A and B are shown apart, each in its own frame.
Chain A
Amino acid sequence: MNQEAPVIDLDHLVRRYGRTDAVNGLNLRVQPGRCYGFFGRNGAGKTTTIKCLLNLLRPTSGAVRVFGMDPARDEVAVKSRIAYVPDQVAFYPWMTVRDTLDYFASFRATWNQATERSLLDRFRLDARQKTSHLSKGQRTQLALITAICPEPELLVLDEPTSGLDPIVRREFIQTVIGAYQEGDPGRRTVFVSTHLISEFEGLIDEFTIIDGGRDVLTLDADAARERYQKVHARFAVEPVGLDLAGARVLRRGRDIEVLVNGDAGDAIDRLRARSPEAISTEALTLEEIFVATLQPQGAVA
């Protein structure tokens, strides 16, 4: 893992709205060059956290550091190195796509015109079209172009694929985000908040799952796949009195599926002791880890 100074460093971040704690003591560190997943259920505090990173909201307490700087005090220095795609994209309705790109380019020191042309073609966006005539998905595509063309060091994406059709979504995730990071590997960082975890599966290097404004799980994606295992066993007859205390067990007649957090050896030994017809293990996907982490135990067992 890269041990440089973190791109994002949150230390006991708290943000309250009235009496509600939207973010409640969140700790998070994102190293440069990573694609970092930020997962949580609706209302978990993801967007509030992102807005604190961008100085769109001030923390109630705790520390926020982006590139080692305070986003409130060094606002311009921080934002010069960031691009942001919000969950709800809006543009000035009288502008065309061309005007909008020129408008956002004017705020930036660099703007890759070749990337702009390539993405306009890829997304089949007509530069002469007015933004008020764009569909929701096309507005998101335009927002992505405005975020990627300045070649920022940190790309912050808040539900970036909402409204995109499956083909564009796949292309965006695998080609656009991937190509963006490969343009300067080790330096370009992606911080993505999404519900479509499975679609980002191959890109995510590390992730944090938050719930109720707190981090409940932070793991390297590969380490997570090693740690979270799914053991599947098939028996000749439905096993009775099988003791797998502490593990999440899903019973489907003769089939038993055990979700294991940590060493799967113990669960495998216990299952083997009952002479199954077949037994196999596989790593959980990030989405399954997300569900297993946040879903109450009783809902699975």
Chain B
Amino acid sequence: MTAGQTRPPVAKEIRALLPVWIASALAIAAAVLSGPRNHELGLLAYGFGSVTLGSQSIGHEYTGGTLTLLLAQPWSRQRLLILKLAVLTVMLFALAVFAWLTLLTPDDSAWLLLSLLNGLFLAPLLTMACRTPIAGVVFTGAAPFWFQAIGRYVNGTVLWSVALTLFAAAGVTAWRMFMRLEMAGGRGAALSLPRFQPAAVSRRQPPLWLLVKKELHLQQMTFAATVVCTLLWVGIAVSTRIIPGLRGFPVSVVAVSYGGLLALLIGALASAEEREIGTLEWQTMLPMAAWKQWSVKAGTVLVLAAVLSFAIPALLASGSVSFNPGHAAAILFLAAGSLYVSSLCRSGLRALIVSGSLTLALALASQYFFAVYRPPGALLPAVMAVVVALLLWRGLENHRRAA
């Protein structure tokens, strides 16, 4: 085997990960350049950048439908995976070095290492397990945060032992999974949640209800993420009562962050996932007005965002997060914006990355804006409402084109 023969596969891996690397580096740079008060945003960008790199390493083969041809090539699976992991490791280290030189302080070394290990071991595993890169991001994106939050109250040696054991187990499982990976056909269901409807149903059901059911089905990842987060939440709620040292856990921060990210996810999945599955084109050709179909989609997104991203976190935070109309409006704004981005993207992960980056940029820009201009009370909600309406209208145009 010559270096010339290895070069194209290595170049392909680098090219597949490069957009995510650049987006992450830009997000970190933006947070650094906007001043020390946005340090946490920078950490978030680095953490999610690492996990997205990990998910994309194998996930881009699922998204592009190229895994079958790749596995049919005369290379052993060990060799294919080693090449992928080698490129991923270099990209992750490069991002870590960039973050270390620009953003991170010695206090952030745990975050640096946790994010790196998360991207290297946990994200590829979840991507393969769910057969879609977005699962790798959604289910592992918050892992470093949980480790770090719990680490404030738990002995460091115990925490690192648990974390390293978990990552090692994830690494071994991911390796074994790739060696035994099967291509049963198509993209496959990302997640298969239990069905609660009776087996025998009437053949003719109201089309609008069927559309709602279809939209809810597209959001399986959202429901799974909600269940996982709620269980973690309940675990923390119980732990804080039992272990006095855990009191003071930043529940409100977790609630707001989780709500915001979930709103982005709900919007990102709604349109792009349908395009990725390949059903959007014939869906729009069904004898129902496109605006009706889009209304069902947008309505489902907004209702889900209101319930899962606002009401549930507010309830779970039990008083730490109030039922603030401004917070609710921000959640709906994020969901509508993400839905618009989703109407332009070919995959849910891409929609999530783009809408996350735009949200970060908007957060940084709004800090400067509000520092120089404080709009009168009613103006901001009115502007947000107009922007949401515009986004939904433009989203309908994109949906209609189904490009």
Contacts and interface: CB of A to CB of B under 8 A. Distances in A.
Partners in one complex: yes
Interface stretch (B9-17, B203-211, B362-370): B9-17
A248 interface: no
Contacts of A105: 8
Contacts of A89: 69
Contacts of A91: 64, 66, 69
A107 B70 CA distance: 10
Contacts of A90: 64-66, 69
B15 A54 contact: no
B9 A108 contact: no
B77 interface: yes
A82 B72 CA distance: 9
Interface stretch (A92-100, A120-128, A199-207, A268-276): A92-100
B66 A79 contact: no
B35 interface: no
Contact of B73 (A57, A95, A107): A107
Interface string B34-77: 00000000000000000000000000000011101101111111
A179 interface: no
A47 B12 contact: no
Nearest to A156: B72
B197 interface: no
Interface in A104-139: 104-108
Contacts of B5: 106-107
Contact of A58 (B9, B12, B65, B180): B180
Given A79-B73, A106-B4, A56 B68 contact: yes
Interface stretch (B132-140, B181-189, B257-265): B181-189
B7 interface: yes
Tell me if A's interface is mostly helix, strand, loop or mixed: loop
Contact of A107 (B16, B65, B74): B74
B6 interface: yes
B75 A56 contact: no
A106 B72 contact: no
A56 B67 CA distance: 10
B280 to A, nearest CB: 17
A92 B16 contact: yes
Interface string B222-263: 000000000000000000000000000000000000000000
B208 to A, nearest CB: 32
A102 B11 CA distance: 11
Nearest to B10: A106
A76 interface: yes
A17 to B, nearest CB: 7
Interface string B283-297: 000000000000000
Given A56-B68, A58-B182, A90-B69, A76 B74 contact: yes
A92 B12 contact: yes
Contact of B77 (A75, A84, A86, A108): A75
B65 A76 contact: no
A51 B76 contact: no
Given A56-B183, A95-B12, A84 B65 contact: no
A88 interface: yes
5 interchain residue pairs of minimum CB distance: A90-B65, A80-B74, A79-B74, A107-B73, A106-B8
10 contacts: A17-B184, A51-B184, A57-B182, A57-B183, A57-B184, A79-B72, A84-B72, A88-B65, A95-B12, A107-B9
Given A90-B64, A92-B16, 14 more contacts: A54-B72, A55-B71, A56-B68, A56-B182, A75-B77, A76-B74, A76-B75, A79-B72, A79-B75, A82-B74, A88-B186, A95-B12, A102-B8, A105-B8
